[in-house]
Every structure is written in structure tokens, then in C-alpha cells.
Structure 1
């Protein structure tokens, strides 16, 4: 392998002395065919090749045989005398990359074609044409573009397809594992001596990342009928290791076994210490944290000295250790979720749950060590590739983090309230359209009335958002920008939460991203069919939240400002899309017609902010700092800055207009409203989706930018790390806890499962004492009543009402329980704060509506082992006199 590589480089540098004959000038391209036991294919292949409508002598065929035992070399030699065919016999370890380079070294033309007998020779002219006319550097025979495909491939080829899917993320070619491709001869010099395996095309593409002109030519591959396929599990394993190296990870041929040996030692220490601590009465969180760090203290020095390549001389040791510590913290917090899922969700004994948890830990540690702690030191991939790999790893971690904790973290009151929507299904609801209820109904119908069942809709909406945002950013810029846009979506606070917490924002963000995608396809790409998608996405969006309607004026403004889009005003597609969206919105219209337009009136008053005028623009700015992080907010401002993008082409101008209009119109509305009225902090969240592609594009630029722009770009890496750490830390904290950190600041809006158990005990005591079934009244607009309703599972169902029973607003409870007649049944008032049981903003004296109201009592809520969680307040009365006693 090394001989042919060096020989090839030397030949390219010194010039081809053999290219002096007149025959060389006739040879326009060389076909290199590596063979291994292909005797039955030689005659049919060459017959088809030389039957092509090509000028005589315009190409040569070079067979490179890797030690065939079926007479393949003899078949080739029989053709040497009658056609422009040559044979090279290699006697080294069979290796496709080595065979190709050997053929390149002997080639007499500047255009090299690589193929094997499974490839259709009839596509050869189409493959070489882009190189012969000078328009491209590499042409790929692709199975994954329109017109391409495979026919009757054996099952082992699924390994190849899996490898192709992995490699596709590293470069802008859909079929990176194709064995049928053409390239310019000088590109062979970019292959290093470490190039090996069966993915020579990928080696070429990665070596010239961002510099090569690549075209994909559709090709249909056929199943082999004879010969030996080079694909095997061993070869695919070699290719996978090489792929990791090309992506920037440190993987030597001995590191996997060494890592396993070191990991086994750490596993023994981890499990034994965990079980010892649990047997001594330590909590689950304390036991797994202590055992993890004990094992890590052993693993780190062994991995750094023995498993992976040690850092070069002069590399800061503390920086190296800091990387290891960061990776370890992420792994630890993820492992806590796995333990909670197994112990609390599947009711597995902690002594057994630690085994699969440690297995997950080992996989994450290996990937983190290979790519982050001990990255490659030679042949570093380009910055673009490093961003792609980082995007894949971070997005995968964020998605897995959500999925693991999805069913373990308790519902917040908002989610419990929307779960109550699903228990009272209607065409729409007073304070929101029905989409959130539909998603929760579907999720709980499949997975039961659990946290996972409630939230799975948000998780899927998050994945849909990622898909549409990636497609939008790829269309506006390129594939790398699309991957970084999804990275931003995964780490920015608002978007991370909407992909996990089931509120109306979850489907809204997904529909917003879809609407932007179809708008771009319709308005910039001029695709008529995109209007259908836009109508559906817009309809689903306003069924999620009325805010999406702001994209309608934005679209109209863009059409007015963009001359190329004004023709749509004279075409039927936009009006049909609007009609379709209106038709989909009809359930909300029907509900409002039946309920005196209650929802429309409520939302109108909500936008106005109530009756008190106040300047709140400064609060809007603070909200944006929370939603986007300070770095994200600065990047968003730079994304609309006039001088950020210097491209003056027509497409670039339309792209900038699209981004500014579709982000600017919604944001301008919220800013104007904030001048006189306070807005909800999360309302502007979806509007920033239009800016994420440009923010992601700026992350990957290395041009001459301002000092501020360079600092913002440099600040993204620590911002990403801090955000992911905080999400994992908070989820671990609320599910398993962190030893030494109390739950003081969660005293009102969390731990409703435990609080409900305490109220159930109070209800049982009242029921036993009076012989009557008490009515429980949550003394908040809906938070207390909704949370108690969801977590009331352990005993007899409670009769639960909201504070609208006393004449105050209860949102949908005004419709579900519009009135409660006077009764002598016991009344139990429950609140998050003690004063709520005496008065509200609209009711100065609640006691006058009650019969013999008792004192306000405080109930402390704790874990079974006595760890305090929160407080809850209740008050017992002997009856209810009605709203107007």
C-alpha cells in the first residue's frame, strides 16, 4: 500500500515520462478496475465497454488484481493483445484503495474512472463528460439521486448503506460510498499513506472538502451474478474506523480492545462501589455519582497513556483534563436519566439497573474520548467538517437527553392543564386552539396517562422542527449551515424546552418551521406545489396557536417588496393555500360561534395586556436574553445587520429579504406591543426561527468580519457547552436530585405528584371524619386543580374544581364547571401560597362564601426518606354558600 502511494506521488510530481507516445494523446480517460476472483465477469464487462459509442483508443482499461485464484489474470491477458487493456498483479494484502492507486500510477490520462463489474458500463460516457469538458473535478455514479438506484442487492449491502448514511453527513454528496466514480488524476496525490479500506471516494472528497467541483450522475447498480464481493464485516469495520479518523476521532486498530480492557476495570470499580454505597443506605443519586467519579479517576490516566494517542508536547495538560471532566459530567448526567428510567419507570432494582446504565456510559465515554478528549493530531479535518461532527454529536446528545428524561420529569402545571383539555375534548378551547389537546390525546391513548404519554407529542414536534429547519437552511445556504442550524435549535433554551415540554409552543414551533420552509420553496424557489404544503402547515400552525397568523402579513409584505414574487398575486395558488388553511381552522371558528367568540375576545384582550398600561420594552429585551442566551441574541442581531453578508447576487438579496421580513414582521409586532403592554416572555420564541439559518451561516464563516463578530463566533463553543450542561444538570436535579442542593426554588410549580399524595391523605381524613365526599378547590386560575387532577391516581378519584367556583377566572374551568350550587359537602381549599385561601385579586373575602371555614394549614411535602421538597397550603370548610351568599 505504501509503495503504490509513494510511487503515485512521485509520478505525479516528476511528470509522466511514459506519456510521450502518440497513443497517450488519444487516451482521454483511464478506467481502473480492481478485481478479486472476477473471471466470469471479465469477458462480459469488456465486451460492453468496447461496444460503447466512443472513439477508438479514447480510453484505456487497467485491471488491478488482488490475488485472484479463479483465473482472472488469464482472462485479462487474453484481451491485452486485442484491446487497450493492461493488467497489474498485486501480491500484498487485498485493499481497494491500494489497488486504485496502483492503477492511477500506471494510467496514461488525466481523467481516472474507478468501477467494478457490478457497475453499468453504459453510464461511462455520462460519468466522464463533466470532467472532460472541464466543468467538474469529481463525478460520482450515484444511487441516491433521481434516476439512480439499486437492483436486487444482497442483504450484506445494508452494511454499505449504513456506512453511506454515516459518511453522507461529512460531505455534500449523497452517495459517498459509491465505487463508480471519476476524478482528475492530480487528486490522487491528496490521499495520505493512511488511506485504506474501501471508501476511496470518501477519502478524495474529504481531502478536498469545499474545494472540489463535484457532480452526481444517476446510476442503477445491479447485483453481482459472479465473482467475490469485497464487502464483508471486517472490511466494513475497517471503513468505519477510517471514517471516524476522517471525522477527527482518534481510533487506532488497537485502541478499541484497549478501551474495552480499561473500561472493564472501570466497570468493576463502578458497580462494586455503587452496590456498596446502596447497601449502606446512600441515595440513588449519591451512589451513582460517587461510583462514577471513582471509576473515572482510574480510567482517565490509563486511557490518556495507553488507549488513545497522548497529547503532543506542549499541549496544556489542564486543558486536556478539562475536556475529560466536561465529557465526564455530560456522561454522568445522562446516566442519571437512564438509572431513573430503569428504577422509577421500569421498577428495576438499582443493583441491576446499574449494569445497563454503565453500558450506556461506556458508549458515550468512548465517543466523547475519541472525538473530544483525544482528537486526532495529524491530518486534522477542515473546520467545516469539525462543525459537522460537533453538530451531529451535540444534537444526538440533546435528543437522547430529552428522550430519556421525557417520562421521568414530572409535569409542570401548564402541561397538566393541557392534559385536562384532552379529558374534555372539544373543537377548540377558551384560551388556546385544540392542537395541543389532540397531540396529548393521541400520546396518552398509546402510552397511557403518563408523563411520557403527555410529552411524546412535544418530542416528535421537536424532531419535525429540526427536519424542516435543516431543509430551510440547506436551501438558503448549504448543507453545513443546515447542520449548524439544527445545532442551534438543539441548544438554545426556548427550542430545547419546546422539544420536551408539552405546551402549545411545541406544535407551534414545528408548524412555524414548516411554514417557513414551504414559503421559501414557493417564493424563492418558485415551486407551485409548495403552496399546498404552505396551506397545510399554516393551517396546522393556527390550530396550535394564533401567533402563527403573523406569518401571513409577512408573506404579503415579501411579495410586495420582491419583484420576482409579485406574480403570485395574479396566480390562484396563494389564495387556494389561504382557503385550505382557513378550512383547517374551521373547528376553532365553529367553537367560537357557539361560545360567543369567547376565545377570540380573550386573545384580543390578552394581546392588549389587560387594562394597565406599562412600558415593557426592557422586559422584552431581558426575555430575549433568556430565550436565546446573550450570545444568541447578539448573533441574531448580526444576522440582520446590513453589512453582514457581502454577496450582491440576486439570489443573495432575495434571501436576505426573506430572512428579514419573516423575522422582522412578527418581532416588530411584539416590540410595538411591548412599548405599552407587558408580554409573555416566550411569545417571541418562534419568530427567531427565520434567523437561525443566517446565524448558523455566520458560525461557519472565516472571512474578514468585525471584532464583535469574531468574538461572538468564538463564544458559541462555551455557550453550547454551558447550555447542554445546564439542561442535563436541571433534568438530573429534578428527577434524581443533586446531593447537597435543596429544592427550595421549586416550591410552587413542581413536585405535584408528592403534593397530591398529601392532599389525598387530607381528603381521606375528611371523608372518614364526616362520612361525606369533600370537594377539592384549587385556588389558582388552573394550575392547582389541573395538577391535582393529573396526579390523583393512588386512591379514590377526588372531586376537583378551580377558583372560578368563587367567581374568579378559571379559564377552561369556567366552561367545564360553570357553576357550583350551594352544598353542605366539606370543601378543601388548596393553594400554592397561603393568602390564596383568603382572597384573590377579584375576591377580597373568600370566607364569606364558606360554611365554618377553618384556619389555613401548611403541609410540608418530602421524599420517602425525609428530604424536603415543597410546601402546600389547605383550608377546610363545612360547606359552600354559593357565589352570592
Structure 2
């Protein structure tokens, strides 16, 4: 704390006062919670009222402070402390008595107040990045670790978990890396936390390489600000929350940028092997990684000094490393008639109904970069724009202006070329908002340069950007803490209106389906399988939340009954494997269970049953189930 205080230029008297305030808050928190819990107040309201008492205790200690800036900071730090403390309480209250769980929760809240107040509230500088950035990164990391095991898996996450339960060297719709990572961490323990743990680890790797890349391109000060952006901008934050192929893809993309700029700009031969390894790993995560080597090739064509690399043995060694790492996916496609390459390539572009999605593509930049980021990008790309004043960290034996120009060209090629590919694709095919996310890693140093002056220049827009970033990032921190973590677990003052994709009561729904399963077992003497009648979402959740723990082995999708895409379920569960078995069909739409095609594929059908999924005691979704006795995999009606 003394070192932190010195770094933040903290007034020693204020530091002592803030320490005392944090201690008083912790004691008031525990005492008030004990009294409220003893009075029979519900856990949700008891913890909220106890935190209010803790806040009053802290304010009473700090009441002599007259600095408006410090009071504003206190409010922000308090707002961050509350969701973290509540998450620690709900985490431990699941295993311990509430009166015991409140102790680590109160200490977590007090520590957040103590560190936040010392580092930012007491600082005499408005933007002390050397202190604020590490604390912000650590806060977001701890917040993830506290909450990730308490929030239900989204269907897409459950689908990738199902990948890991059917381990292979390739899959139809994605390469296998996400499955391998989940299998590795799931071996350490079960539950949502271990499914999502690879996302947190990949986020940390991405952050480290993004900082190293920014430091090479623009120096340590820029790297600190770049770390803050990589921790808080929507796409980069999101990949560390939900497990998808985008998490390892972003980590590999950042690593590839780091090694490629060292190979092409720093002319370090060994960096080519690191770039090849990163690109190969990225290709194991998602096929869009191919845009990185494509950008490298274009850069070598347009940058005269880099053309010699086209004949470099080290560069071709990097290509060989990438191909060797990616080779399992090539083998899988050879064994399956190039199914995955076709699914992500020709089949997507040859859609029966072309979809003009350029507006969605443009909107994705606003969402992923935020409007401030888009303005900073425009400022950099416009004539006379640039960040030459920021990019002056150069080797002693190189020409500063030449290297600054090559760095600018590097970022332009590695940003604009991949964006152009997605823009052209969006003219006739679907575009999802997160697809362009990793591309923005190349220009993070540009955005970071606008966070403090001197940045891009001295104009009104430059001053406005420098003033706007910190309030925006602080607002994003609060949105993440409350919207993505606190609300799904605790609700808001008793209000629980959960989204039908996230937090819709999957565990409760699967428990009700289990009751039907046990009834069929008692009736027929054999255990039925479960079938979700949508593309894969219902089957994914039914498999993961199977209370018997073997859902991945006997939970299929709609391909058993309908001629509709069910992605990997068609590979895992051929229709013939369920011949003669009893099935429980589950759907969010009653019409699926009353479809006239079903009777031809069963010896008899049970009645349609209504299932109300609940979360936190609140009804959040209605599903329907029907028993299909004696499944007959006859030719599917059209």
C-alpha cells in the first residue's frame, strides 16, 4: 500500500483516513448483515442494506474531505465494489452459511474501496495510467473469476462444451481448438467455471501480446493505455467472459501481430517462427485467421524493404510451422469430403437467399470500437492525420521517419485488408457483429494515442477524444459489472426479467425433463434419449445440465425428425443409432411437437406437456415436451 500510495502521489494523511474508512466499512457491513439476517430479511435485500450501512460508515469517516474530485471518485469506486462484494457473497453462500460467507464478501468490498481510493481518489493527476491500468485489469479479472461459475452457460457455450465431449481433430462449423481447451480445463473440474476458464486464459494471453505489440510500436506509455483498451472495449472484454472460438483466435491474432511486426519491421529472423506458430494456432481456432498471413503477404508486396522476406528461409520456415500446426484440420477435411471448408466458404457464399448485411457490418465497428474509437480511426485515416509524434520509439540505427511510416503502413494493411474482405462479403452474405473483433488489435496503439495529449495533434477533436475516453471506459466498467455479472445472479431489487438466450432457467428446465425421463423409465424399463427440436440450442443445454452427467452421449437434435440443419449433431448421432428407442422431444414452440410428420416416426406419441422454466423463482420461459415411443428412422418426409 505504501508503494501504491507513492506511485499515485497520495497524501499520507488522506491515505490513513481512507484506510480507516475501509476498515469501518467492513465491520459495519458484517454487523448490519448479521442483524438483518437474524431478523429474517432475505439474502438479496440483507446484503444490499448491509452494503448501504457500510457505505454510511465510510462516509462518516471521510466527511471532512472537501475535494469534489475525491467524492466523485469515491462514488465510482463504491459502484465497483458493490457487484464484486455481492458476487463473493453469492459464491460462498452456495457452500457456507450466510453469516460465514459475508466475511470474505465484506473484506472484498473493503479491499476494493481501499485500493481504488488510494490509487485514483487520492491522485493529484487526473490520469495516472501506471496505477489505474493494472488495478482495472485485476478488477476485471477477479470479477470474471468470481462470477463465471455462477451464470448459466449460453447455448453456444454448451455447444462448444459438447465439442469437448466428442473430441476430434476437426468439426463441421469450426476448427477444434476451442474443444481441446475446454477438455483440458474440464479435466480439472466440472461446471460452468471450468468450461469458461479457457476464455479467461486466452483473454490474458491476448492482453499480454497486445501490450507487447503496442510497446514495440509506440513505447511504454502507449502500451499502458493500450492495455486499458484491450481490457475494456466490448469485443476484447467479451471474449474473456463467454467461451467461443473468438477467445483463442484473438489471443493468436495478437501474438501473430507481435511476431510479424518484429519480423517485418524489426527484421528479426526468429520472429518468423513465432509468427508461424501463432498463425497455426489461430487457424486451429477459426478460419478467419487466414486474413493475417494474407495481410503479411500484401505488406511485403507494398513495402519495398520487406520484399526480401519473400525469399527468406526464415519466412518460409514460419509458413511450414503454421501448416504443421494446422494439419489436423486438413486431415479431418480430407476424411469428410472437405465438409468444414465448404461450410465456412462456398456454402456460406452460395446461400440460396443472398443477404445484404453491409449496414450490420458498419454498425459492428460502432459497437466494438465505440463511437469514440470510430472517431479516432477516422482522425487517423483522414489526410494529414497520423500519430507520428507518438511513434518515435525507434532503434538507434534506423531512420525515425522511415520507421514511423512503415509502422503506419503495417497498421493500415493489417486493419484495412481484413475489413475489406468482410465488407465485400457483407454485400451478399450474413455478417455477425463480432467477426471483425480481432482486426481492431492492429490499431489499438492508434486508439491509445488519443487517450492523452499529445496524441494525434492539438485540434479540437484531439482534445475532445483525450477528455472522453476515461468517462467512457468507466461507464463500460459499470455496465459490465452490473449488466453482465450482478444482474444475472442477483436481479435488481427483486426484478428478474431474464433473457431467453442467457439465464433462462436451463437447469430448472432440464430437471423437469428429467422427471419425464424417470417416468418413462418406470413405464417401459428403458431410459429414453432427449431430442431438442431446434438447430442445436435446446439439445446443448439439455446435454450440459443433465443431472445424471451423461447428457452428451444421448442428447440429439432436430435432424432425427426434420430435414433441417443440426450442425455437428448429424455427425455425432446418426438417425439409425436411435432406432427403436423412446425419445423425449423438447421444444420452445408447441407446433414442433404437433407436426404431422411425427406420427409416422413413432409407434405412439405421448401427450404434449407444458414446462415452465424458472430462474430465481421467477417464470422466465415456456417449453413443451412430448414422449415419442419406439422411434422409427423412416425416410424423412419433405
- The TM-score normalised by the length of structure 1 is 0.67
Match of 2:166 in 1: 424
How far residue 821 of structure 1 moved from its aligned partner, in angstroms, is: 5.7
2:610 partner SS: strand
Distance 1:551 1:275, change over 3 A: same
CA contact (8 A) 2:26 2:109 kept: no
| Pairing 1:818–2:554 present | no
Q: How far does residue 816 in structure 1 lie from its aligned partner after superposition?
A: 0.8
5 Å-filtered alignment, 1:136-535, equals 241=2, 244-252=5-13, 255-256=15-16, 258-305=17-64, 310-312=65-67, 315=68, 320-344=70-94, 347-373=95-121, 375-376=122-123, 380-381=124-125, 386-446=128-188, 448-535=189-276
Query: 1:473–1:482: 8 Å Cα contact kept in structure 2?
Result: yes
1:685 corresponds to: 437
Q: For residue 269 of structure 1, give the secondary structure of its aligned residue in structure 2.
A: helix
Displacement of 1:266: 3.0
Q: 1:819 to 1:825 in 2, by over 3 A?
A: closer
- C-alpha spacing 1:467/1:264, structure 2 compared with 1 (3 Å): closer
Q: What's the RMSD between the two structures over aligned residues?
A: 2.4
Alignment correspondent of 1:767: 521
* Aligned counterparts of 1:601 and 1:444: Cα–Cα separation in 2: 31
C-alpha offsets along residues 534-554 of structure 1, whole Å, 9 cap, x if unaligned? 111111110111100011211
Deviations 1:375-397 (A, max 9, x none): 24xxx34x6x6133222221121
Measure the CA separation in 2 of the matches of 1:320 and 1:259. Answer: 11
Q: Deviations over 1:346-383 (max 9, x none)?
A: x111110100111111111112222333x24xxx34x6
Aligned partner of 1:803 among 558, 565, 586: 558
Rounded Cα–Cα distance in structure 2 between residues aligned with 1:473 and 1:594: 42
Q: Which residue of 1 aligns with 2:535?
A: 781
Residues 8 and 118 in structure 2, CA contact (< 8 A), matched pair in contact too:
no
Give matches, 1:581-730, under 5 Å.
581-605=322-346, 607-608=348-349, 610-645=351-386, 647=388, 649-702=401-454, 704-729=457-482, 730=484
Shift of 1:823: 4.4
Kept in 2, the 8 Å contact 1:838–1:847? The answer is no
Cα shift at 1:824: 4.7
Residues in 2 aligned to 1:709 and 1:268: alpha-carbon distance in whole angstroms: 46
Aligned equivalent of 2:311? 570
| More helix by percentage | 2
CA contact (8 A) 1:831 1:837 kept: yes
Mapped partners of 2:591, 2:486: distance in 1: 32
TM-score by length of 2: 0.92
Deviates more, 1:431-440 or 1:275-284: 275-284
Cα 1:609–1:463 shift into 2, 3 Å: farther
| Paired residue secondary structure (1:810) | coil
Query: What do residues 702-742 of structure 1 show as CA deviations (whole Å, max 9, x unaligned)?
Result: 36444333323322122111111111112111123322322
Deviation at 1:301, TM superposition (A): 3.1
Alignment partner, residue 736 of structure 1: 490
SS state at 1:676 partner: coil
Deviations 1:482-529 (A, max 9, x none): 111111111111111111211101100000000000000000001011
Query: Do 1:779 and 1:836's aligned partners in 2 also have CA atoms closer than 8 Å?
Result: yes
1:674–1:250 Cα change, 3 Å? farther
- Distance in 2, matches of 1:848 and 1:718, equals 62
Structure 1 Cα separation of the partners of residues 577 and 170 of structure 2 = 27
Compared with structure 1, are the counterparts of its residues 838 and 299 closer, same or farther at alpha carbon in structure 2 (3 Å cutoff)?
same
**Aligned counterparts of 2:208 and 2:214: Cα–Cα separation in 1:** 10
Moved more, 651-660 or 608-617: 608-617
CA contact (8 A) 2:450 2:465 kept: no
Cα shift readout 1:819-865 (whole Å, capped 9, x = no counterpart): 236745432111234344456xxxx84454344434543311225x7
Instruction: Give the whole-Å Cα distance in 2 for the aligned partners of 1:675 and 1:705.
Output: 38
Q: How does 1:103-114 map to 2 (within 5 A)?
A: none
> Are the structure 2 counterparts of residues 484 and 664 from structure 1 closer, same or farther at C-alpha, using a change threshold of 3 Å?
same
2:617 aligned residue: 866
Distance 1:681 1:251 in 2: 48
Q: SS at the partner of 1:723?
A: helix
In structure 2, how many angstroms separate the alpha carbons of the residues matched to 1:621 and 1:727?
23
Aligned counterpart in structure 1 of residue 511 of structure 2, from 736, 750, 757: 757
Given that 1:427 and 1:591 are in contact with CA atoms closer than 8 Å, whether structure 2 keeps it comes out as yes
Per the alignment, in what secondary structure is the counterpart of residue 66 of structure 2?
A: coil
Report the alpha carbon displacement of residue 638 of structure 1 after superposing the two structures with TM: 3.0
- Distance in 2 between residues matched to 1:259 and 1:717, nearest whole Å: 23
Larger radius of gyration: 1
Distance 1:773 1:602 in 2: 35
For structure 1, the 5+ residue unaligned runs are 1-239
Conservation of the 8 A alpha-carbon contact between 2:185 and 2:198: yes
Q: What are the superposed Cα offsets for residues 22-75 of structure 1, whole Å, 9 maximum, x if unpaired? A: xxxxxxxxxxxxxxxxxxxxxxxxxxxxxxxxxxxxxxxxxxxxxxxxxxxxxx
Aligned pairs, number: 621
CA contact (8 A) 1:789 1:800 kept: yes
Q: By how many angstroms is 1:700 displaced?
A: 2.2
Structure 2 CA distance, aligned partners of 1:557 and 1:445? 42
| Distance in 2, Cα, partners of 1:761 & 1:279 | 36
When residues 469 and 255 of structure 1 are mapped into structure 2, their CA distance, relative to the original with a 3 A threshold, is: closer
SS in 1 for 2:207: helix
Counterpart contact for 1:250–1:370, Cα < 8 Å: no
CA distance in 2 between counterparts of 1:688 and 1:796 reads 40
Compared CA separation, residues 301 and 746, structure 1 to 2 (3 A): farther
Give me the whole-angstrom Cα distance separating, in 2, the residues matched to 1:269 and 1:855.
56
Pick closer, same or farther for the CA change 1:734–1:620 going to 2, 3 Å. same
Shift of 1:767: 2.3
* Per-residue CA distance 1:427-456 (angstroms, 9 max, x = gap): 11111111111111110112x222122121
Residue of 557, 560, 573 corresponding to 2:298: 557
- Larger RCO: 1 or 2 (CA < 8 Å, sep 6+): 2
CA-to-aligned-CA distance 1:459-504 (integer Å, 9 cap, x gap): 1111111110000000000101111111111111111111121110
Q: 807-816 or 477-486, which moves further after superposition?
A: 807-816
Post-superposition shift, 1:424?
1.2
